[in-house]
Amino acid sequence: MVTNTVSEDLHSPIGDDISPSAADAELESSQPLIPSHPTASENGSHAETETGNEHRGAREASLTGLYISHFLSTWNARTYEFAAVVFTVEAFPNTLLPASISGIAQCLAAILFSPSVGAWADRCPSRLESLKKTILVQRIAVLTACACWMVLLWSGSDTSSPHDLGLKWGVLAVIVVLSCIERLAAGGNVAVMERDWVPTLAPAVGGSLHNLNATMRRIDLICKVLAPGFVTLLPMGFSATTVTEKHSVFWSVVVIAMMSLLSPWVEWFSAQRVWSKNELLQAPKTIERVWTNGREANGHNTGGVGQHLRRKMSGVTRFCKSAVLLPTISISLMYVSVLTFSSPMITFLLNSGFTLPVVTAARLFSSILEVSATAVMPWGVKTLRDRPAKYWRPVDEDELGFLEENPSEPSNIDKAEVERVGLWAVWWMTLSLMPAVYGVVGLTSTPETSPAGLPLPYFSIPMLLGVAFSRIGLWTYDLAYSQLQQTLAPASLRGEFTGIEQSFVSTAELLQWTITAILSHPKDFDVLAVISWVSILGAAGCYAWFIRKRRGHLLHVKVSACCKN
């Protein structure tokens, strides 16, 4: 059996043979998203002014709608992510088992099914419909899960009989399944919005792709910072009222459910507004069709299990042969690290004598630096782009992204600059974590006790600052990696590649939790810190290898004119 893969427009005849590069080039050469208007030479300067105003208004409307839809989607995902932890602790006190089961199940679901979700996003002919479906599935999953949480929380944490206990764990099993569905739908939303809508929309809104990516990531990080505080305030607010005091967490679930019920309508309206004003978003997508023994394998008719598995392995094989493999391995290795203000490190800090206010302040400072990375990335690209051309570097254009089939034409991609900013970012993270490892090893190896607060400052301060400043490197690299995924993957495979990327990252997260479970004693955290730094060093090495293969060098060397001659 011979399997050939061709790329063709959704509405093209079955027999047409259109290569991915040709289809992508045709898509990029089509008319701009914002309709053209008469020039000043034809209708005078007044018409030119009106045209500029209309262009500007259309661009602002597109960006506003995009940001509103992305904010609401991210806000709902982040609030439920943290709220589920609070609800679990309330329903199952004095045990970490339910939270661990949910976390492992979600990681496994992402590993197994994210590529399929991404492939579905590629096959869906309408960008608008695929976005609406991911939003709808997310909200239905959260609403159903909230109904289950209401049942658990209203009945209380005590179980009077084995039957009640079994029913309680049965409801939890349903919640875990719904949480897995919500996570997969959120991943599909990322594949559709960030990896398809954003690069398609970028040429029309007049800004660089890295600036648009930075704004989208800034929204995500702000939601990540604010959502836990919002969820924490809900029970506090309901506890202050006599009517809701007894079941304050229950009423917090009601608020989360109402948000999930109302926000989809605003998200859909905002997305519809953006889609209706942009012709490339409305255009049929370039999709991959698989031919088996001379017959087309319809994406909706999966056939036998063997054929289904072969198609999935074919996608993984294409991903592994693509230019984004090494950057994906690099960013996945970063998620093995425990040197971040998440539950393993916070547990270590509290057991080492740090007070909760100190830990909270350190985490807040780290979050501020994370958001600042969304400004560092555009600044770095602009600085490198505007630098005087006085350095010699070899030209290597063997591997071009789908948005760069014609390098001589004007582009808003800044490929070389983005790649180099990513290199600086990953090494910034590697070097920043060296004092953090020093601090952790010092704290765990010092037998003397210190007053609670900030124990052994000559170890504590380098550790806290190192972890905090490393977040600039992480999120700057994350932005660079996002643009590589958008520009180096074929347009018809962006969703599937995003799903495979999510599988890589989830595998790394699962590995982190496994290692943490094995080395669970606080005194073993120094070993975890060393393992984390080695994984970050491996990430830097992978990305440096990628740059070396792409550019033929890692550093620019200044040479004199006589040497160049």
- Reply yes or no on whether the pLDDT at 467 is more than 90: yes
The whole-number pLDDT of residue 92 equals 84
The whole-number pLDDT of residue 137 equals 95
The whole-number pLDDT of residue 490 equals 82
CB contact at 8 A, 286 and 27: yes
Report the predicted TM-score, pTM, of the whole model to 2 decimal places: 0.75
Task: Please indicate whether residue 223 or residue 286 has the higher confidence score (pLDDT).
Answer: 223
- Reply yes or no on whether the pLDDT at 70 is more than 90: yes
| Pick from 211-220, 392-401, 533-542: least confident | 392-401
The whole-number pLDDT of residue 289 equals 55
Q: What is the pLDDT of residues 420-438, one digit of tens each?
A: 899 999 999 999 999 999 9
Q: Taking the CA atoms of the chain, what radius of gyration do you get in angstroms? A: 25
The kind and range of the H/E element at 286 are strand 286-292
SS3 205: coil
The whole-number pLDDT of residue 59 equals 64
Percent of the chain with pLDDT over 90: 36
The kind and range of the H/E element at 289 are strand 286-292
The whole-number pLDDT of residue 338 equals 92
Count the Cβ atoms, other than its own, within 10 Å of residue 54: 13
DSSP state of 304: S
Edge-first strand listing for the sheet containing 295-297: 3-9, 286-292, 295-297
- Reply yes or no on whether the pLDDT at 281 is more than 80: yes
Q: What is the pLDDT of residues 316-352, one digit of tens each?
A: 888 888 889 999 999 999 999 999 988 888 888 888 8
SS3 4: strand
The whole-number pLDDT of residue 36 equals 38
DSSP state of 336: T
Q: Greatest CA separation found in the chain?
A: 89
Q: Identify the CATH assignment for 31-284 out of 1.20.1250.20, 1.10.10.60, 1.20.1440.230, 3.10.20.70.
A: 1.20.1250.20
Report the pLDDT averaged over residues 15-28: 41
Residue for token digits 């679930």? Answer: 253
Return mean pLDDT, the chain.
78
Q: What is the pLDDT of residues 170-184, one digit of tens each?
A: 999 999 999 999 999
CB contact at 8 A, 527 and 370: no
The whole-number pLDDT of residue 309 equals 67
> What does the buried/exposed string (b/e) look like for 483-510 if buried means 16 or more CB atoms within 10 Å of the residue's CB?
bbbbbbbbbbbbbbbbbbbbbbbbbbbb
Count the Cβ atoms, other than its own, within 10 Å of residue 361: 12
- Listing DSSP states for 402-466 in one string gives TT-S-TTS--S--HHHHHHHHHHHHHHHHHHHHHHHHHHHHHHH------SBS-SHHHHHHHHHH
- Reply yes or no on whether the pLDDT at 31 is more than 60: no
pLDDT band at 304 (very low <50, low <70, confident <90, very high): low
Task: Please indicate whether residue 2 or residue 172 has the higher confidence score (pLDDT).
Answer: 172
Alpha helices in 92-195 (DSSP H): 97-123, 127-155, 162-192
- Reply yes or no on whether the pLDDT at 74 is more than 70: yes
Residue for token digits 């007894």? Answer: 246
- Rounded Cα distance, 220 and 237, in Å: 25
CB contact at 8 A, 541 and 333: no
For the chain, the structural domain boundaries read 31-284, 322-391+412-554
The whole-number pLDDT of residue 156 equals 63
Report the pLDDT averaged over residues 487-507: 88
- Rounded Cα distance, 366 and 363, in Å: 5
The whole-number pLDDT of residue 562 equals 44
Q: What is the pLDDT of residues 262-276, one digit of tens each?
A: 999 999 999 998 888
**Residue 438 burial by Cβ neighbours in a 10 Å radius (0-12, 13-18, 19+):** middle
Q: Which fold has domain 322-391+412-554?
A: Growth Hormone; Chain: A; (1.20.1250)
Task: Please indicate whether residue 408 or residue 526 has the higher confidence score (pLDDT).
Answer: 526
- Rounded Cα distance, 30 and 125, in Å: 18
The whole-number pLDDT of residue 390 equals 42
Task: Please indicate whether residue 282 or residue 19 has the higher confidence score (pLDDT).
Answer: 282
Separation in Å, CA 261 to CA 138, 146, 250? 11, 11, 17
Which of 12-26, 270-284, 421-435, 481-495 ranks highest by mean pLDDT?
421-435
The CA dihedral of 266, 267, 271, 273, to the nearest 10 degrees, is: 10
The whole-number pLDDT of residue 285 equals 74
The whole-number pLDDT of residue 397 equals 41
> Is it true that 31-284 and 322-391+412-554 share their CATH fold?
yes
- Reply yes or no on whether the pLDDT at 25 is more than 70: no
Report the pLDDT averaged over residues 293-315: 57
- Reply yes or no on whether the pLDDT at 120 is more than 50: yes
